A and B are shown apart, each in its own frame.
Chain A
Amino acid sequence: MRITCPICGERDRREFYYKSAAVALERPDPEAGDGVWNDYLHLRENPAGVTRELWYHETGCSAWLVVTRNTVSHEILDAVLASEARA
């Protein structure tokens, strides 16, 4: 598997560290309530198809990326900086 880091270019996946679904970017308000926080922390979709994930270019430029990936074909569809994906 290869991921195209927006900063470094196409690299082997061994350079990256996987965290979780990109849901982790949508941190709720501290007062949002137990249900919202529970969803945020623990509940994840498990799609057969396109998913958005967080990968860290740990042995590269230290950028956190949002990688759009197809779990069926393993195709990497997109990789953008997490800092820009949120906005």
Chain B
Amino acid sequence: MRVEGKGLINRGHPVSFTFDGMRYEGYEGDTLASALLANDVRLVARSFKYHRPRGILTAGSEEPNALVTVGRGARQEPNVRATVQEIYHGLEARSQNRWPNLTWDALQVNDLAAPFFGAGFYYKTFMWPKAFWEKVYEPAIRRAAGLGALSGENNADSYEKAYAFCDLLVIGAGPTGLMAALVAGRAGADVILADEDASLGGRLLAETHEVDGMPGAEWVREVLEELGEMPNVRLMPRTTVTGAHDGGTFGALERVAHHTIGRAGTPLECFWRIVAKRSILAAGALERPVAFRNNDRPGIMTAGAVRAYLNRWGVSPGKMVTVFTNNDSGHRTARDLLDAGVHVAALIDSRHDAPDCAGVRVLKGAQVCDSGGRLGLESITIRSVSGEDKLQTDCLAMSGGWNPTVHMTCHMGGRPVWNQDLEAFVPAEGAIPGMRAAGACNGVFSTAGCLRAGAEAAAEALDALGVAGGAVELPAAEDDPYRIAPLWAVPGKGRAWLDFQNDVTVKDVKQAAVENFRSVEHMKRYTTQGMATDQGKNSNVAALAILADVTGRAIPETGTTTFRPPYVPVSIAAMGAGSQGKGFAPQRFTTSHKASVERGAPMIEAGLWYRPSYFPVSGETTWRQSCDREVNMVRESVGVCDVSTLGKIDIQGKDAAEFLDFVYTNTFSTLKVGRCRYGLMLREDGFVMDDGTTARLSETHYVMTTTTAAAGEVMRHLEFVHQGLRPDLDVNFISVTEQWAQFAVAGPKSRELLDELLDEPLSEGDWPFMACGAVEVAGVKGRLFRISFSGEHAYELAVPARYGDSLFRLLMARAEEKGGGPYGMEALNVLRIEKGFITHAEIHGRTTAFDVGLEKMVSGKKDCIGKTMSERPGLFGDDREQLVGLKPVGPVKQLAAGAHLFNEKEEAVRVNDQGYVTSVAFSPTLGHMLGMGFLKNGRARHGETIRMVDHLRGLETYCEVIDPVAFDPEGGRVRG
């Protein structure tokens, strides 16, 4: 219910929303949790395993119970914590993990069967029969035990990622963080202040403490105003810092638009990477529940949450509240409620020496040992020296003490330290380089202490940054001591909940210990304690204390589980922002892309590049028709193909020739200026890395081509060989792949075409095979290479990329006049297979120069990368699988890449494997299919019949082993 005169909500601005189809009204500034409590809705969820009725436990991101689904259709978002979801007009929220509805859930029978569902029940119950696990047990369990469901539709929202840099990152904007940001901001440091809440201020918004003689919230407003005016300070509300990583890098999730319905143009979430020279962790503390029988009933909440709902949102979660505490902070809840006019039935304090509290009966040395009520709290049972008493109450505010939020300090392997006075873990110092934990997360619980700690941490950071900071006067605030006597679990029968979200009870932890899962990590996995979306924020320390107790060890000796990033759940969509659809990988387009698409060419991916598959003409209905035509065209007249995607590396320097001799197996220092040479490159382990032609443009200037696929790898390799192994050589290189548009002009009429196109016709005799030089096309300076990947008389013509589109169109038109035209990747592949030219299908990383028949290219006169190791035993000889050509000879004419080769009479099983097929194509030139592959001792077996078996496609073909060069083996056409 709402309490008049309380809260920071905007009562002039009502907001309506629905929960499970019912319409409710709240106010601007409400969370879904506060608005539901204001409407007296206590039952909001069903628990994970037992489907127990659950309510709101906390007022923050640590909430284990109140998980709801927000939105509909593609926008449906499951497992939203009602405690962080701000309400807006039209918000639709639904409860989860229940059927048919929240008040009557069919699976509440699980609760009756609880004795079978204790710790380790998965492992014990569903062991037999084994085959049932995957088909029966697991799907059934997954349906019964669960969280919310995804929509199953494509995500309709957009997400963003961003980077930020600062001198000082302050994590948390409570009294500590605000004070730290103020001190550092005034000194002129670049500060980012991030807090997961929509309103900065932390506990100052939830308590009635005064700061500097004014209400805490008023002091917060003044500080934020000052910070807001500082250009060097960036305030980041709704931003949870999720992880501390190496080198002062932090992950942070900003909930950009979860609080609005209209998301047009705004991302839903933004995932930040923040790089900070220093950081201050001011993450505060989380309150612990107390484990007692049926402590999970709706209406039982943490005492700090009850104060927050009252003071910040003007809501009392009950009409007749009781408080159960083992420390002084619980008394504040009673005081604030009384001051607000809410009836407080009793204050139960487990300490015999508990202080009094004006206006309420304090039961000292008493404990709450049970609760009653069907779908919400109606009564509690109090146990004291005088026996057990029942008390009517609709809200129990419990406090088992406070845990400093140490999580972030553990993200780089640090272990928190047990503090006996606080009965809690505090951060280990220096656990994150450059980070200082301050305030409540460091075990300082008073407001004055936090303000002081924030200022000191900021001063220390400024010092480390070398920024001069003036003295800052600390505002006056309460400085109450924190007194606590440990109470983890109230003894007694029945189930007392520890991990509300995973339904783990005190009994489960004890059972784990009995079964010898005594290590905290084993206990966690056996019971699932702390494994849910809240990662045990509310329960880990208590579970640990109970494990310590039953195993007869102290808490520090028992140890903690490991806190890992992220601190709160982060959607995959936010982390992968920008990487969906076309954002998944960059797209590289050639200059001929537009013209190719205009011709109806289907584009296929080659690495990041898009290349035309074929160029269909009217009447062609299959790719094969187009491909065959294009092959014939190149063999008979002239074809044009964009080859710009091949890597082009410009190499210059006095020692360029010597360098190339070192990276290539063959010699380039002897290459004449104006000539090209095919080169083979090995890795240092002796296997083939890449191949391509390299042209010598001058004594000190070469242009290397690489395959499309290996362009990046070769560039890295060249840089490594130069910088790492031969820095003495005077040579430099740069990729010019995108600077030059390069087109193959291939076929018997290629020369005729070029003579018509070039400003000056090619002079007879100057352009033999493998010649290169400068030419001009319509006044544009270009380069011409007489090289061929088709086996035909062919050239590659390169012009600066800005002329690529126009040259390609011109080449197509000229070629068509001669009965030719453009050809695509399919035809290019057929042409090269007919000629036995290798690609990365053949040089796939496991083949040597010997295997591909190029061992003669490894010069004996010089050292080169990979030479020594290529001479290892085992990398050459009859046992190696060697490159061969394959031609079908039996009734089946089909070949398939990936198929394996077997001797004619041997069974097609692994031990009889003779090799495999790497490339196949139908050769329109020869009228049958052709294959390339590797066959044991293959070069000596030309003429043999071999059996090709494709077990996947169920294909078996008898082939003749032939020379890989199936067409024009003398090479007369390429030279002609």
Contacts and interface: CB of A to CB of B under 8 A. Distances in A.
Contact of B725 (A27, A63, A73): A27
B719 A62 contact: yes
A76 B720 contact: no
Interface size class of A (residues with CB under 8 A): 20 to 34
A56 B718 CA distance: 12
B868 A74 contact: no
A84 B728 CA distance: 10
B846 to A, nearest CB: 16
B246 A2 contact: yes
A25 B719 contact: no
A45 interface: no
Interface string A70-82: 0001111000011
B452 interface: no
Nearest to B685: A41
Interface of B: 245-249, 273, 275, 412, 433, 684-685, 716, 719-720, 722-725, 727, 863, 867-869, 872
Contacts of B719: 56, 62, 64
B247 A2 contact: yes
Contacts of A13: 247
A84 B727 CA distance: 8
The secondary-structure label for the interface of chain A is: mixed
Given A2-B275, A34-B872, A37-B868, A83 B684 contact: no
A30 interface: yes
A3 B249 CA distance: 12
Contacts of B727: 82-84, 86-87
Contacts of A2: 246-249, 275
A12 B723 contact: no
A58 B246 CA distance: 20
Contact of B246 (A1, A24, A25, A56): A1
B332 to A, nearest CB: 42
User: Which 3 pairs from chain A and chain B are nearest by CB?
Assistant: A2-B247, A83-B727, A1-B246
A27 B726 CA distance: 10
A27 B246 CA distance: 32
A54 B724 contact: yes
Contact of B412 (A41, A64, A74, A82): A74
Nearest to B867: A30
19 contacts: A1-B245, A1-B246, A1-B247, A1-B249, A2-B249, A17-B716, A19-B720, A24-B720, A30-B863, A41-B684, A54-B724, A56-B720, A58-B716, A64-B723, A73-B433, A74-B412, A83-B724, A86-B724, A86-B727
A86 to B, nearest CB: 7
A5 B249 CA distance: 17
A34 B875 CA distance: 14
Contacts of A81: 723
A56 B716 contact: yes
Contacts of B867: 30
A62 B246 CA distance: 23
Given A1-B246, A2-B249, A2-B275, A83 B723 contact: yes
A63 B247 contact: no
A62 B247 CA distance: 22
A12 B249 contact: yes
A82 B685 CA distance: 21
Nearest to A54: B724
A54 B724 CA distance: 9
- A19, A34, A64, A75, most chain B CB atoms within 10 A: A64
B204 to A, nearest CB: 35
Nearest to A83: B727
Contacts of B248: 2
Contact of A25 (B249, B273, B725): B725
A37 B247 CA distance: 36
A34 B248 CA distance: 44
A37 B725 contact: no
Nearest to A69: B246
B869 A41 contact: yes
A25 B247 CA distance: 26
B413 to A, nearest CB: 8
A1 B719 CA distance: 23
A18 B685 CA distance: 18
Contacts of A12: 249, 273, 275
A5 B964 CA distance: 48
Contact of A37 (B249, B720, B869): B869
A42 to B, nearest CB: 8
Interface in A19-74: 19, 24-25, 27, 30, 34, 37, 41, 54, 56, 58, 62-64, 73-74
A75 B433 contact: yes
Given A2-B246, A2-B275, A58-B716, A30 B724 contact: no
Contacts of B412: 73-74
Given A82-B723, A82-B724, A86-B727, 12 more contacts: A1-B246, A1-B247, A12-B249, A13-B247, A25-B724, A30-B868, A37-B868, A56-B716, A62-B719, A74-B246, A74-B247, A81-B723
